[in-house]
Amino acid sequence: MGTSSNDLPISTARRVAHLARLALTDAELENHRSALSAVLGYVETLRELDLGDIPPLAHPSDATNCLDLDDPRPGLPTEFLLKMAPASDPPFIVVPKVVDAGAGA
């Protein structure tokens, strides 16, 4: 498949847009049709490469588990946090209800 939008039928582009839940105008569809055709053309180019000697990757970087140490340290004083909160009922911070009473968790 080449990189010309003429290689990709408009019906295929419309189907891809539908599957992606995109409501596109005809002009937008034609623009995305060209872009999709270019991507598919690039994939075809990649398929022609001999990758038999290249091992598969789980991640493009050799770095694994680069985490900082989790050293415990003192937290902020409760009084300081309560002053920053928009609403409080010491020693608690008041937050808006976000779950319906009957919804369950």
Query: Which CATH number do you get for residue 9?
Result: 1.10.20
Asked, for residue 27, whether it belongs to a domain, the answer is yes
User: Has residue 85 been placed in a domain?
Assistant: no
Structural domain contains residue 90: no
For the whole prediction, is pTM greater than 0.85?
Answer: no
Residue 6 has a pLDDT of 56
| CA nearest to 1, candidates 34, 62, 43 | 43
Confirm whether 52 is domain-assigned.
no
Spell out the per-residue pLDDT of the chain, length 105, in tens. 444 445 789 899 999 999 999 999 988 998 888 889 999 899 999 999 998 898 888 778 877 777 888 889 999 999 999 999 999 999 999 998 888 766 655
Per-residue model confidence (pLDDT) at position 2: 44
Residue 105 lies in a domain: no
Q: Which pLDDT does position 60 carry in this prediction?
A: 80
> What does the pLDDT read at residue 103?
64
DSSP string, 44-66: HHHHTS--TTSPP-S-SSS----
Tokens 């050293």 belong to residue: 71
Q: State the total domains in the chain.
A: 1
Q: Which two tokens stand for residue 49?
A: 């490469």
Task: Decide if 36 contacts 42 (C-beta within 8 A).
Answer: no
Q: Residue 88 corresponds to which tokens in the numbers above?
A: 């409080």
Looking at the domain assignment, is residue 83 inside a domain?
no
Token pair for 65: 């588990």
